[in-house]
Amino acid sequence: MNVEPSELLEAAQSIVAEQLSQLRTIAESAQQRQASIKVELRQIERVLDEAVLQSRFAAEHGLPTAAEFAAREQTLRTSYDKLAQEAQKLQRALRQLDQLTRQIDMSSATLRGSGEGEPADPWVQALRSQVITGREEERARLAREVHDGPAQVLANTLMGLEQSRTLLREQRIDHLTLLLDRLSGATREGLHEIRQFIANLRPGQLAEQGLTAALHDYIRRYRDTRNPGITFETDTLPRLAPEVEIVLYRTVQEALQNAHKHARGAAVHVILAVRQQQLFLTIRDEGPGFNPRDVARRAGRESWGLTSMRERADLIGARFVVTSHPGHGTEVAVTLPLR
């Protein structure tokens, strides 16, 4: 029994259309649940803020209701954390559903294209879109780093030179000498930052010698310039896929930059370990720590750095977790199955 190619394509399109319809129904249901959770979280936040104030006031003034308020606060925190975890899992599931829907939709577009004048391959278009988006995100990140580093040094140097001109006109030579000495030191430090910036853009050792050697080199430079209290422990690692090594390297970079900003020079420990066919990357500092939920609630979102690390981990199929408590430091952990 001969079947016309057009009939085969029509049958395939029908199957794909049915799959798309089912996936969109599932996604719509998940989005409704997500919206409901957001409303519940906002309600609990308002009540929790009030409960915290009541609990603190009762505790500070020794009121007999202090234990009752503390128990209520803890119950609300537990409810909030449970809902927040559900929201996080739901968000991850929605991202995966969206990716799957896009893939099937692109397959459907491929089936619809035929003959001359057919549309460009949607997979190629999607890849181009990802490349363009990735480049723009990287440019934005570089712009921030240049603004906070070299651009700031140059701006300070320019102001110093203008002040030097004023001192020279007024013949205040002693003050001028001191200012030029400070400018010289600041410029030297700025040059060092620029060289570090260039070296971090493309770690040559990563491609040539692998993740462990590249991290040894980066952490050695970090120890020499920023924090002598950093340690690095690693098991013997196999060579990983290039994209995996890049993600893990950038995660260490981002985590150490955060530690430099917020851990106030406290000790930092970087650990790479392999256990039961899984790779564990941990960056733990002994700084003041923070409450991730409170920070995200005040900002309305997770910090850009944490979001970037989380998204990179998702791309290579790794699990990303940040743990922190006030007074107990911060830990960034990545778990990757080794296939």
Q: What is the pLDDT of residues 95-116, one digit of tens each?
A: 888 878 877 776 666 666 544 4
What contacts 89, CB < 8 A, 6 or more positions away?
A: none
In the predicted model, what is the mean pLDDT of the chain?
A: 81
For the chain, how are helix, strand and coil distributed in percent, rounded to 5?
Answer: 70, 10, 20
What φ, ψ does residue 266 adopt, rounded to 5°? -70, 165
Share above pLDDT 90 across residues of the chain, in percent, rounded to a whole number: 16
Do residues 186 and 157 touch, judged by C-beta distance below 8 A? yes
The pLDDT of residue 320: 93
Does the structure show a pLDDT above 80 at 50?
A: yes
5-112 has which fold? Answer: Helix Hairpins (1.10.287)
* The pLDDT value given to residue 185: 81
pTM: 0.51
Using DSSP, how many helices (H) and how many strands (E) does the chain show?
10, 5
Is the distance from CB of 316 to CB of 279 less than 8 angstroms? Answer: no
Please state which of the ranges 6-20, 117-131, 147-161, 165-179 shows the lowest mean pLDDT: 117-131
pLDDT at 111: 62
pLDDT for residue 130 is more than 90: no
What's the CA gap between 11 and 15, in Å, rounded?
Answer: 6
Assign domain 209-339 to its CATH superfamily: Histidine kinase-like ATPase, C-terminal domain (3.30.565.10)
Residue 146 has pLDDT above 50, yes or no: yes
- pLDDT bracket for residue 117 (50, 70, 90): very low
The C-alpha atoms of residue 21 and residue 52 are separated, in whole angstroms, by 46
